[in-house]
Amino acid sequence: MVKEIEGYRFDIPQALQVYKFDETNNNSPFFHGVSVLKAVDVMIEMPRCYVWVEVKCYDDESIAQLKEEREQSKQNKYHTKSWLRNNLLHKYRDTFLYRYAENKLDKPIVYVCLLNFDKALKSYFRGELQRYIPCDRPSKRWKKSIIDALIVVDENDWKHNPKLQELGSCVKV
C-alpha cells in the first residue's frame, strides 16, 4: 500500500491500512470529531501491530536554535525542546485515548517519531520520550504494555532500522 502523507511517501506492502490519522476533513471516514485531543500524523495497521508515525520537519534555523538551547538556560518558561518533547508525548497519549475509544488497542504499538534532526538531537528526544512513555510494564499490576517500541528516526535512519525495514519504505516527496 502506497500513500503520500505529510510530505512523505509511505510504501508499506503488507499494510492493512495506511492513512492520515489527524484528519481535519469532517467528510473523511478517519475524521475524529474531537479537536481538544492531539493525534499522530500517520496510522499504519499491520497484521501484527499498529505503527503510529508523527512527522516533524524543521527548517535549518529552527534546528540550530534547538541545538543551542540549554533546557534550564532560558529566563522565560518557554523552551523549544520542552515544547517539542511535550508535543510528541501528548500526540502519543492522546492517540492512545482515541484508539482506546475506537477499541483498536488489540495489537502491539510501535511509535515512530520521524524527525529531520541530526543524530545528537534524535538521541536527545529518544531519551526524553523514553523517560515519559513507559516502554515496558513498570508494575506487576500492569497486564499489558502501553507501547511495544519507541523509534526516533530521520528518513535515512528508516532505511537502516530493522523494525522499520520490515514494514517498507518512507521517502520524502
What pLDDT, in 10s, does the model give residues 64-75?
676 676 654 455
- The helix/strand/coil state of 144 is coil
DSSP string, 13-46: TT-SEEEESS---TTSTT----SSS---SEEEE-
Check whether 43 has a pLDDT greater than 60: yes
Number of domains within the chain: 1
Check whether 28 has a pLDDT greater than 80: yes
Sheet with 8-11, side-by-side order of all strands: 2-5, 8-11, 169-172
Asked if 173 and 11 count as a contact pair (C-beta separation under 8 A), the reply is: no
What are the residues whose beta carbons fall under 8 Å from the beta carbon of 100, sequence distance 6 or more? none
The boundaries of the domain holding residue 33 are 2-172
Check whether 167 has a pLDDT greater than 90: yes
Grid cell 500492569 — which residue? 142
What pLDDT, in 10s, does the model give residues 89-107?
999 999 999 999 999 999 9
6-27 burial code (b ≥16 CB/10 A, e <16):
bebebebeebeebbbbbbeeee
